[in-house]
Amino acid sequence: MTIRPATWAVFFLLALLLCRGAEASHQVFSEADLFEVSADADAAEQARDDALRTGYHFQPPKHWINDPNGVMYHKGVYHLFYQYNPKGAVWGNIVWAHAVSTNLVDWTMLPPAIYPTAPFDVNGCWSGSATVLPDGTPAIMYTGIDGQNRQVQNVAYPKDLSDPFLRDWVKPDYNPVIAPGPGVNASAFRDPTTAWRGPDGDWRLVVGTKDNHLGLAVLYKSKDFKTWTPSPQPLHSGDTGMWECPDFFPVTSRGVDGSGVLRKHVLKVSLDLTRFEYYTLGEYDHAAEKYVPDASLADGNDGLRYDYGDFYASKTFLDVSGTRRRVLWGWANESDSTADDVRKGWAGVQAVPRKLWLARDGRQLVQWPVAEIESLRGGHVNVTRRVVRPGAHFEVAGLASPAQADVEASFRVRDLGRAEPWDPAWDKADAQTVCAARGADAKGGVGPFGLWVLASDDLEEKTAVFFRVFKRGDNGKHVVLMCNDPSTSSKEDGIYKPTFAGFVDVDIANNGGKIALRTLIDHSVVESFGARGRTCILSRVYPTKAIGDKARLYVFNNGESDVMVNHLNAYDMRSANITGSMERST
Ligand code: DQQ
């Protein structure tokens, strides 16, 4: 590849933004920068970039995407709106792109639905939510960036309710319906939730904001979706910095003994400072207009996460199409460099839509890819009752496309007595710290064992998704970790390769040493569900050798105990059917 001298300056600028872990949000690039770099992509690079595009994780044909917005089900059609830059592969020029589906798998791309047209959103149409009103009319509330760069909340309604795809949206002249009041930080006041009705019949919604380092979910009330009044105190707050993309909704479960229904509320927030999100479960006190998290659950760094990997700005909706289910969408940013994205011409994907529910023990939420995804399963390979000895691995051969696959495995640890002692120094550490200290290649007692995905045949490249089990000295209980180690995922330089990890809240001894893992592999996405959805990790990887039909899938065991693969079912995944056009005909 030859690079013109002028372009080096651009590479240098963009290289400053190589690492995405704590990327500053809302960085603006000039269009001239984008053209300089994209001109240099050669054919081989282009082919490799194309091989990293996803087959069944949602992404548009080109350009930048971020947060899912306004997700909803309306009269037989699922709507996915999302933050989109129509001009390039970096964040900027933000509009609401729009796609529709009848099965959450195949999508028809439509022209952007909400884009700057008025003084109240002239500088951008940022995130928001949809609410289906009692008469069946959907209302969108979104953040507009107005002429003074203030963040204001606007409402929009479908122009033509008889259009099943709801292509066009009207923004009433009375917008903004919620402006930042006195004392509110106008540059940090955004992302209205779906609205709900209280016992008095009035609508409520929450907007994310901050007061210095205090993250806030401020509550607004309305009788008509037009005039909104702030509640004197926030629904909830936490000492975490800005709360972006709050989501607030009820969940139920049958309870552990099946005798009664357990009801809780979920408050999820996305932290602008660290770019991860967490949730709490708790009680919604309607009279006090307050949300009170369960005493055992922490706000902030120690909180529960939907996903311990690359998953941000998520949003749920209630799917009333069949048996009512709550469905979660989340955005996975790239982990390569901004220069790579500009060369690729695309950046960002959506995680697969996940069904989300309250665990029967009431301690956490559980997630699972919506069942519709399984309609893409094709060729199938099965492994039954195969023992993996300490230090051994074997290839799961026979798939046509291990780079685009769905793998479900159930493992049984033969000898939990081999678990390494838990180091009390880790009591205050998060799972990521422990996993980083004990990577996939560091031999253990029970584990690391699991999958090597997107592996090259010489194993130079591979992403490890695995479990590692420790035993506490104080109470004799096991601590189960689920990790995603991408440190050898790519030979390419300049890629952000953090080890992601979460604890798995299971009693593995009581479960006969059994633990399950499902991993969705999609070229540059590795999306895993541990212990049937109790711990989830999405990671973005960029193999150079393990691409297309060169990718391989293995089971490995780097522990001292034998591990039995009770069952492993691996499926080739067909690509989703993406049709339609994002261009607006004039
Ligand atoms: N992305 C949007 C904001 C939101 C942030 C702008 C979260 O509305 O707070 O694209 O990723």
Q: Residues 144, 278, 29, 60: is their CA dihedral positive or negative?
A: negative
List of residues 6+ apart from 445 with CB closer than 8 A: 418, 419, 420, 469, 470, 559, 560, 561
Rounded Cα distance between 137 and 553, Å, is: 47
Assess whether the C-beta atom of 244 lies below 6 angstroms from ligand 1: yes
Determine the residue of 23, 67, 84, 94 to mutate for testing ligand 1's pocket, defined as the one with the most ligand atoms within 8 A of the Cβ atom.
67
Residue matched to tokens 């049709």: 579
Nearest to 482 by CA among 466, 463, 505: 466
- H or E segment to which residue 367 belongs: strand 365-369
3-class secondary structure, 586: coil
- H or E segment to which residue 526 belongs: strand 525-530
Find the catalytic residue in 33, 49, 67, 340. Answer: 67
Q: Which atom of ligand 1 is nearest to the CA of 83?
A: 10
Assess whether the C-beta atom of 123 lies below 6 angstroms from ligand 1: no
Dig out the tokens for 8 from the structure: 């080096």
Assess whether the C-beta atom of 83 lies below 6 angstroms from ligand 1: yes
pLDDT in tens, the chain (586 residues): 233 333 333 333 333 333 343 344 566 655 555 544 454 558 888 999 999 999 999 999 999 999 999 999 999 999 999 999 999 999 999 999 999 999 999 999 999 999 999 999 999 999 999 999 999 999 999 999 999 999 999 999 999 999 999 999 999 999 999 999 999 999 999 999 999 999 999 999 999 999 999 999 999 999 999 999 999 999 999 999 999 999 999 999 987 766 678 999 999 999 999 999 999 999 999 999 999 999 988 888 889 999 999 999 999 999 999 889 999 999 999 999 999 999 999 999 999 999 999 999 999 999 999 999 999 999 999 999 999 999 999 999 999 999 999 999 999 999 999 999 999 999 989 999 999 888 888 999 999 999 999 999 999 999 999 999 999 999 999 999 999 999 999 999 999 999 999 999 999 999 999 999 999 999 999 999 999 999 999 999 999 999 999 999 999 999 999 999 999 999 999 999 999 999 987 5
Known catalytic membership, residue 522? no
List of residues 6+ apart from 174 with CB closer than 8 A: 226
Q: Which atom of ligand 1 is nearest to the CA of 191?
A: 8
Report how far Cα 450 is from the mean position of its chain's Cα atoms: 22
Assess whether the C-beta atom of 311 lies below 6 angstroms from ligand 1: no
Q: Which atom of ligand 1 is nearest to the CA of 270?
A: 7
Determine the residue of 20, 65, 66 to mutate for testing ligand 1's pocket, defined as the one with the most ligand atoms within 8 A of the Cβ atom.
66
Rounded Cα distance between 65 and 91, Å, is: 8
Assess whether the C-beta atom of 37 lies below 6 angstroms from ligand 1: no
Identity (one letter) of the amino acid at 250?
P
Distance 44 CA to ligand 1 centre (A): 34
Determine the residue of 245, 312, 331 to mutate for testing ligand 1's pocket, defined as the one with the most ligand atoms within 8 A of the Cβ atom.
245
3-class secondary structure, 48: helix
Beta bridge partners of 52: none
List of residues 6+ apart from 392 with CB closer than 8 A: 556, 557
Q: Residues 75, 77, 81, 87: is their CA dihedral positive or negative?
A: negative
Q: Which atom of ligand 1 is nearest to the CA of 242?
A: 9
